[in-house]
């Protein structure tokens, strides 16, 4: 069966393609009960790693565990050599994610055939490369990687096609997941989908709303019984955080009070919902400000059929309330908000669905170079934000020049914006430091020795070509070639440490 897998920050959800239907697949827990997700949790039990439901049970029993590891993948400094401490041992993050995906594959109720997967729209190149590599190492045949709100656009047109008219052909996808917020403006014309733009915040999600509630509960608990985060200890604090998450997910529009269970030894905390909403509103407002440039004021002439709420975090009633207050009535919540991306991925994986997607790069790529004989630095933009992603094959950009030094040192960064003066602004992520030996005498050196080599200027250096390849997944590679000798090296724009 062709499948869509949405590896989420708190839950991984899968949907299958079955003769024009896209059911959410069920996972069995340790007791054989069925669930529409596989928990995104890894735990260490006596030196052995366990995943999903087994990891959740181990975490409740006090075992060292790792939640929200997808956020670690999206951290600005993450690279394939990034390590994580778990159970007193250092593990490569890539190895942990791979082992988790092996557990997901084995827990699927049907064999995974070809699979479409997703990443946040604003995922940097390292996150895309590492995600693809983890799926590959886990023995999962990935045929496509889509941005999460773009996949949700497929689910919208599958379930909400009646809201689209000849005058209103655009969907603004509001995707608040566990660890990230993404929004995209999608033009839908039959089975064709074109992403007109994407904005997001890679460090804002449902986890942050959980932390707001946790802080309120700790403040109230401290007043009532003197308990603090320190006295609760790591296991107690983790259990309270999960209880806060569960209480948040139980909220309905008519709910007036929240009850947070503290266990048998303490009375539960009763918290007015509006108190939580007041504390959470600044975070929700941040999402509205991020999305605002895509939708304006949702005027009739904008052509927008509606704002589509997806992602587990969008279930918070405050989110829909604030969106309607700001943008009007055309706010639709997916009937499957947590599963919307997985369903869209299954549609993308289904050859009979005959859907197409023209997406865009959400981050630009620039490289710092020496100027004025080493006395200054310039920034060359290689790829701009909103560069169209190729549907198949690769898009290439080349640059050719005569090398003026014995070694080239390329410092690549990803960025969301550049100001009119060419300076990088906002979220800037280092994605690679590349050393390339222009001098043939240095080409036998290993990377560490090359980094220690003296860099000098010289006349008559070789002609050099930089060839940048933009892949359909949004990952970028660069091939640097000495055109005189044919010597060449290729690098993925994901730092190796």
pLDDT for 319-369, tens place per residue? 999 999 988 767 888 888 899 999 999 999 999 998 888 988 888 899 887
Quick check: 463 and 402 in contact, CB under 8 A? yes
Q: Which pLDDT score, from 0 to 100, does residue 238 have? A: 82
DSSP string covering 457-471:
B-SSPPEEEEEEEE-
What's the pLDDT band for 375 if we cut at 50, 70, 90?
Answer: low
Q: Which one is predicted more confidently, 303 or 114? A: 114
> So what's the pLDDT on residue 159?
83
Which element (helix H / strand E) includes 274? helix 273-295
Q: Do residues 211 and 347 make contact, with C-beta atoms less than 8 angstroms apart?
A: no
The per-residue pLDDT for range 416-471, each reduced to its tens digit, is 777 777 777 666 777 778 889 999 999 999 988 998 998 888 888 999 999 999 99
Pick the CATH number of 364-492 from 1.10.1060, 2.40.390, 2.30.30, 2.60.34: 2.60.34
Distant-in-sequence, close-in-space partners of 263: CB < 8 Å, separation ≥ 6: 239
Q: How much of the chain exceeds pLDDT 70, in percent? A: 95
- For 375, phi then psi, to 5°, come to -90, -10
Please tell me which of 132-141, 299-308, 405-414 the model is most confident about, judged by mean pLDDT.
132-141
pLDDT at 59 over 70: yes
Q: Is 494 a residue whose pLDDT tops 80?
A: no
Question: Residue 66: what pLDDT?
Answer: 94
**Among the ranges given (132-136, 179-183, 203-207, 225-229), the one the predictor scored with the smallest mean pLDDT:** 225-229
CA distances from 379 to 352, 368, 370, 470 (A): 45, 5, 9, 19
Residues 78-108 pLDDT 10s: 888 899 999 999 999 999 999 999 999 999 9
| The predicted structure's pLDDT at residue 497 | 45
Whole-angstrom distance, CA of residue 430 vs CA of residue 495: 8
Instruction: Give Cα separations from 316 to 120, 310, 342 (angstroms).
Output: 20, 11, 20
Is the distance from CB of 52 to CB of 27 less than 8 angstroms?
yes
Q: What is the 3-state secondary structure (H, E, C) of 411-446?
A: EEEEEEEECCCCCEEEEEEEEEEEEEECCHHHCCCC
Q: How many helices (H) and strands (E) does the chain have?
A: 11, 28
Q: 3-204+282-358: what CATH class?
A: alpha beta
Mean pLDDT over all residues of the chain? 88
Closest to 267 measured CA to CA, from 330, 328, 213, 220: 220
Q: What is the mean pLDDT of residues 286-310?
A: 80
Asked whether this chain's domains 206-281 and 364-492 adopt the same fold, the reply is: no
Please report the pLDDT score of residue 298 as a whole number: 54
Report, as an integer, the average pLDDT of 467-477: 91
Separation CA 62–CA 168 (nearest Å): 52
118-160 confidence digits (pLDDT tens): 999 888 888 888 999 999 999 999 999 999 999 999 999 888 8
The alpha carbon of 192 is separated from its chain's Cα centroid by a whole number of angstroms, namely: 24
Please determine, looking at this structure, whether the domain spanning 206-281 carries the CATH number 3.40.50.10860.
Answer: no
Per-domain boundaries in the chain: 3-204+282-358, 206-281, 364-492
Alpha helix positions (H), 31-147: 52-60, 69-73, 93-107, 125-137
**What is the DSSP track for 226-252?**
---HHHHHHHHHHHHHHHHHHHHHT--
| Cα–Cα distance list, 389 to 5, 127, 184, 351 (Å) | 21, 17, 15, 20
Residue 450 CA to residue 102 CA, distance in Å, equals 37
Which is nearest to 144 in space by CA: 478, 475, 406?
475
- Asked if 101 contacts 42 with a C-beta cutoff of 8 angstroms, the reply is no
Those residues with Cβ within 8 angstroms of residue 405's Cβ, 6 or more apart along the chain or in another chain: 370, 438, 455, 456, 457, 458, 461
pTM (2 decimals)? 0.85
- Other Cβ atoms closer than 10 A to 151: 32
Q: Is residue 473 predicted with pLDDT exceeding 90?
A: no
Instruction: Quote the pLDDT of residue 297.
Output: 54
Residue 429 and residue 415 in contact, taking contact as beta carbons nearer than 8 Å: yes
Q: What pLDDT digit, counting tens, does each position of 184-223 carry?
A: 999 988 788 999 888 888 889 999 999 999 999 999 888 7
* Contacts (Cβ under 8 Å, ≥6 apart) of 170: 185, 186, 187, 188, 196, 302, 303, 304, 305
Q: Does the structure show a pLDDT above 70 at 164?
A: yes
CB distance 181 to 204 below 8 Å: yes
Q: Is the pLDDT reported for residue 404 higher than 80? A: yes
> Which DSSP string do the residues of 318-360 spell out, in sequence order?
HHHHHHHHHH-S-EEE-SSTTTHHHHHHHHHH-GGG--EEE-B
User: Is residue 227 over pLDDT 80?
Assistant: no
């Amino acid at each position: 069966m062709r499948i869509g897998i949405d590896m989420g920050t708190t839950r991984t959800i899968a949907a299958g393609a079955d003769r024009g239907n896209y059911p959410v697949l069920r996972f069995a827990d340790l007791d054989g009960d069925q669930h529409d997700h596989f928990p995104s949790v890894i735990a260490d039990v006596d030196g052995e790693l366990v995943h999903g439901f087994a990891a959740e049970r181990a975490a409740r029993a006090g075992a060292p565990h790792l939640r929200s590891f997808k956020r670690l993948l999206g951290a600005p400094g993450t690279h394939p050599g990034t390590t994580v401490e778990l159970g007193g041992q250092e593990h490569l993050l890539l190895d942990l994610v791979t082992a988790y995906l092996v557990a997901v594959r084995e827990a699927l109720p049907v064999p995974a055939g070809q699979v479409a997967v997703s990443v946040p729209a604003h995922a940097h190149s390292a996150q895309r490369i590492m995600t693809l590599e983890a799926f590959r190492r886990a023995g999962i045949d990935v045929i496509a990687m889509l941005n999460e709100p773009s996949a949700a656009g497929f689910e919208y047109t599958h379930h909400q096609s009646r809201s689209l008219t000849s005058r209103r052909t655009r969907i603004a996808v509001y995707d608040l997941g566990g660890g990230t917020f993404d929004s995209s403006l999608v033009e839908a014309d039959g089975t064709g989908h074109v992403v007109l733009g994407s904005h997001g915040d890679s460090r804002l999600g449902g986890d942050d709303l959980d932390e707001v509630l946790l802080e309120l509960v700790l403040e109230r608990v401290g007043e009532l019984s003197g308990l603090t985060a320190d006295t609760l200890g790591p296991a107690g604090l983790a259990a309270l955080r999960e209880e806060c998450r569960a209480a948040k997910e139980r909220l309905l529009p008519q709910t007036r009070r929240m009850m947070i269970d503290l266990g048998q030894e303490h009375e539960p905390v009763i918290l007015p919902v509006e108190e939580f909403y007041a504390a959470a509103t600044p975070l929700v407002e941040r999402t509205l400000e991020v999305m605002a440039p895509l939708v304006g004021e949702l005027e009739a002439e904008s052509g927008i059929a509606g704002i589509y709420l997806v992602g587990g975090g969008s279930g918070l009633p405050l989110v829909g309330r604030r969106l309607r207050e700001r943008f009007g009535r055309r706010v639709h919540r997916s009937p499957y908000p947590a599963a919307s991306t997985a369903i869209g991925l299954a549609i993308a994986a289904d050859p009979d669905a005959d859907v197409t997607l023209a997406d865009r790069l959400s981050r630009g790529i620039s490289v710092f170079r020496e100027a004025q004989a080493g006395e200054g630095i310039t920034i060359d933009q290689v790829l701009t934000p909103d560069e169209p992603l190729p549907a198949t094959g690769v898009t290439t950009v080349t640059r050719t020049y005569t090398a003026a030094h014995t070694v080239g040192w390329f410092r690549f960064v990803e960025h969301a914006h550049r100001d009119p003066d060419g300076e990088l602004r906002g979220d800037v992520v280092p994605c690679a430091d590349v050393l390339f030996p222009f001098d043939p005498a240095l080409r036998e050196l290993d990377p560490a020795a090359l980094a220690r080599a003296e860099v000098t200027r010289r006349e008559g250096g070789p002609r050099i070509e930089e060839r940048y390849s933009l892949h359909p997944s949004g990952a970028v590679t660069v091939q640097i070639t000495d055109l005189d000798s044919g010597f060449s090296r290729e690098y993925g724009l994901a730092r190796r440490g």
